[in-house]
Amino acid sequence: MRAAKYIGGGRIEVGDAEPTAPAAGEVRIRVAFNGICGTDLHIVQGHMDARVAMPATIGHEMSGVVESVGDGVELAPGTQVTVMPLRWCGECPACVAGHQHICQRLDFVGIDSPGALQQLWTVPASIVVPIPERVSLQHAALVEPLAVAVHDVRRSRLAAGETAVVIGGGPIGQLIAVVARATGATVILAEPDAARRAFAEQQGAIVVDPIAGDLAAVVEERTAGAGADVVFEVAGTRGTALDATRHARTRGRVVFVAIHPEPVPVDLHRIFWRELEVLGARVYEREDFERAVALLAEGSVPADALITRVVALDDTMEAFDALLSAAAMKILVDVQGASA
């Protein structure tokens, strides 16, 4: 088979690899599509070299079809699937408390162990999620990032009739806006890129350019001076982290979604003064994956519009280059496809 591997130095190399036969309790998937996400970009930029074992087959936003199964697995070959790429120990305090998705020894598959940028991928059956036939395999590759957004919104306790501010209009910010609107909330999205603002506006969000415009004034106007019920910080900058608490109402919720690898300033006085709740939101649980599949199946997600383009496995490096230059929203790799 063929596989794409991160080899360090900002480079992805595509070459031959040996597939792994499924053992008992395992499934081998013929991978169809794999989306490139922000974490993958961090890997290729070298920010996670201390964590990934090179050469590393990365990738975790995927779809495919069951090719074969090991003993004790009930999934039938030919079933459309995706993977919830989390393997937990079951023994640490987080797991014992029922929070297996943030296991203290979590194996994030596609980062800490081999991922989906290979034509045949063998994984435990326990992390495989079936996909209905009415959902295309291209759309199914969006389940994982959509599940992130579902988890973020569920964690926020956002309810119908409430107002949410989303700071950052990248793929996850856009998906949070979509899920929030599907929940029945009004969404105000702040994003400096005009194309991303236009996309969010087409999906029904109120959009603000935080550089040329005044996000605080828009929130004040739209909420009659109260502030937003929920603020999602998805941009991941020092400035947006500091600004996030400014837009929440009294006893509102501020959800930090973006990864901040270094400590950043937060307005603790504002948190005290308005009795704000500050929440972290990381990855997802099984119910978030199932809700994401349902949203795609019912057509609540603008999947075609989110996918900027599809490239062949041999052109994986091209996809990374495009995303690093912010020239795309979501690029899928056709793992079985060949370059034109």
In the residue annotation, 42 being an active-site residue is answered as: yes
Q: Which member of 39, 79, 237, 308 is catalytic?
A: 39
Q: Is 84 exposed, middle or buried (0-12, 13-18, 19+ CB in 10 A)?
A: buried
Distance of alpha carbon 92 from alpha carbon 140, whole angstroms: 32
Alpha helices in the chain (DSSP H): 38-44, 93-96, 137-140, 143-156, 171-183, 194-202, 215-222, 238-244, 268-273, 286-297, 303-306, 316-324
Residue 316 bears catalytic tag = no
Residues 210, 196 contacting (CB under 8 angstroms): no
146 touches 61 (CB < 8 A): no
Q: Give the separation between CA 109 and CA 316, rounded to whole angstroms.
A: 19
Q: Which of 42, 99, 260, 308 is catalytic?
A: 42
Q: Encoding tokens for residue 278?
A: 């500050």
Q: Could you count the other beta carbons within 10 Å of the beta carbon of residue 298?
A: 11
Instruction: Name, in order, each residue with C-beta under 8 angstroms of 303's C-beta and a sequence gap of 6 or more.
Output: 138, 139, 142, 296
Active site residues: 39, 42
